[in-house]
A and B are shown apart, each in its own frame.
Chain A
Amino acid sequence: MSRVKRQIAPYLLVLPGGIWLLIFFAVPMVAMLSLSLQEGDIVSGYRFTGHWQTYTEAISAYQTQIYRSLIYGGIATVALIVLAFPVAYWIAFYGGRRKPTYLFLVLLPFFVSFVLRTISWRQILTDEGPLLHPLREAGLIGQSFHILGTPFAVIAGLVYNFLPFMVLPIYVALERIDPRVVEAARDLYANPATTFRRVIFPLALPGVFAGVLMTFVPASSDFVNSEVLGSSETTMIGQVIQAQFLDNSDYPTASALSFVLMFVLLIGVFTYARILGTEDVMKVAAR
């Protein structure tokens, strides 16, 4: 291959896909930014006026929903780490030849549409459903006890729907641990708890980091779980954005809220990376 060809080749290969990403990922962000600074209404149209007050108005009107989303997303993420780590750990170290089978079982929910899975939970958790009806009949729970419509139901829904996204990266990180390192720790008379704390867990951190990225962001911006399993008391910012865009056609408010959400999530992710020591985490991840 000639030199010139070699130099042009990567650009030719990248060009079509790169342009697609530019036009339909990067440009829309700019369009949304522009929209958030426009004024008007759907009938007479929106004009760019640089009206940044939409941001302050939107934040003050919907701060409850923003906080709530971050709290739900945060709780769900912590719960995910706690629930997923042992599963990933067991599959990685004890799964043996059946590892792929166990992973496959963990991934089974992905073969059913996201919306359908969540609706299925509603059917299970409903007040007179297969779970609560027998308990109520047996007098174990009060007449007004319910799960649907509570923050618990929404967070549980988030945890359920994103669990595989936490198990997999942790599993991959654990799977990569060289058994010789663990053996070395033992040879140096570390007890199992110390081995776990000082050797295994730090090595699994990149997986946890990836898992948090893959769950916290979508969980905080989700609107399906709260819509299906929640109530007006659990309204999340995703629902507000969706409604402002698709129901009310209030594009400036919706765009401004989208940016606020994106900004808050980015800050969250970067702070989190800082606390963990990004460089170390990234280095291990890139190993």
Chain B
Amino acid sequence: MTASTVERPQLPKTEEAARIRPKRRITGGGLLHAYTWVIIAWLVVPIAVMIAFGFNDTPGRYNQTWDGFTFKWYGRLFEYPDLTSALITSLVIAIVSSLLAGALGTGIGYALGRYRFTGSGSLNLIMFATMSSPELIMGASLLSLFVSAGAGLGPITITIAHVMFSISFVAVVVRARVMTLDRSIEEAASDLGATGWVTFWKVTFPIILPAVFSGVLLAFALSIDDFIVTAFTAGTTKTFPIWIWGATRVGIPPQVNVMGTLIFAVGVLGAVIANIRSSRQGKRA
């Protein structure tokens, strides 16, 4: 969302205004409006249920029927040491893998956006393949590799897998930014005597930094929510989604709903703040 203001199709302001309010209304706008809200409501229903059942005063471990309102699960959030450690594992893996994917993906994205070189076609193809292959196949093939190599599964193999599927997303975001970069700024820097290296760090990098940041955030989000690839590469390690998956069989404690709610709240809050900041920046520019 951060880059959204930067990346609008370049249209003169007046025409953009014209597009927002078409001169002649296409019929059925009102109906479509209502329809859109129905779909949004449908999308939100399970989230509402998840949040609500975090406040359910259920007596046992089967959080199924509504038994009254309580805050107690928020106080007893860390009651299941396994659940807590699964959440921590997820966070650590997400941080490490998003930073690694950020570094590796930025290199690829920058090179693809800036240079023409042999091999870029193959690279693009592999990136396209990693983004469009079924996660199931990626997970299964990684497992094949690891069992063939006799490597034990654990946090390291999960991280390897997460970096793998995140690199391309980071690269795509960075490439798009690099391609729209105004080269004259860099030229000005070198005209003023800056070396290539200095120009990169002092001029180019700060400009593409928001895109890199977006990419890292995306990688983080992909990692922390990943279930399918992780299921194949986790071995005995438990991440947050894997723990929940296991718990579906024995009853999901309300703490899971609470953690889900908190993650949701933090995510939404973060996105809203980022959006406000970027729209302010957009106005200033």
A86 B167 Cβ-Cβ under 8 A? no
Taken together as a complex, chains A and B put the C-alpha atoms of A105 and B37 apart, in Å, by: 10
If over half of A's interface residues share one DSSP class (helix, strand or loop), that class is named, otherwise mixed; here it is helix
Report the bound CA distance from A117 to B136 in whole Å. 19
Q: Is the CB of A254 within 8 A of B140?
A: yes
Q: Does A97 contact B (CB under 8 A)?
A: yes
B245 → chain A, closest Cβ, in Å?
6
CB atoms of B43 and A106 under 8 A apart: yes
Complex contact A112–B147 (CB within 8 A) = no
Task: Evaluate contact between A241 and B136: CB separation under 8 angstroms.
Answer: yes
The verdict on A245 contacting B18 (CB below 8 Å), with A10-B115, A13-B107, A14-B123 known, is: no
- Name B's interface SS: helix
Using a Cβ–Cβ cut-off of 8 Å, how many residues does chain A contribute to the interface with B? 94
Within the complex, what minimum Cβ distance (angstroms) separates A1 from chain B?
Answer: 4
Cα A214 to Cα B112 with chains together (Å):
23
Name which residue of chain A comes closest to B29, CB basis: A94
Interface range on chain B (Cβ under 8 Å from partner): 35 or more
Q: State whether A241 touches B244 (Cβ < 8 A).
A: no
A178 vs B252: C-alpha distance when bound (angstroms):
50
Closest residue of chain B to A120, judged by CB? B46
A28 CB–B CB distance under 8 Å: yes
Measured between beta carbons, the chain A residues less than 8 angstroms from B244 are 113, 115-116, 119
Give the A-B contact count at a CB cut-off of 8 A.
247
Taking CB as reference atom, which chain B residue is nearest A101? Answer: B275
Contact A123 B18 (CB under 8 A): no
Q: Which residues of A contact B225 (CB under 8 A)?
A: 110, 113-114
| Interface-side segment among B77-85, B157-165, B201-209 | B157-165
* Contact of B143 (CB < 8 Å), options: A83, A94, A111, A245: A245
Please determine whether A115 and B227 come into contact, CB atoms closer than 8 angstroms.
yes
Q: A14-B117, A17-B107, A186-B24 are in contact. List 6 more A-B contacts (CB 8 A).
A: A25-B126, A32-B140, A124-B46, A183-B23, A221-B137, A262-B137
Residues of A participating in the B interface, judged by any CB pair closer than 8 Å: 1, 5-7, 9-11, 13-18, 20-22, 24-29, 31-32, 34-35, 83, 86-87, 89-91, 93-97, 100, 102, 104-106, 108-117, 119-121, 123-124, 126, 160, 163-164, 175-176, 178-180, 182-183, 186, 192, 195-196, 213-214, 217-218, 220-224, 228, 238, 241-242, 245-246, 251, 254-255, 258, 261-262, 265
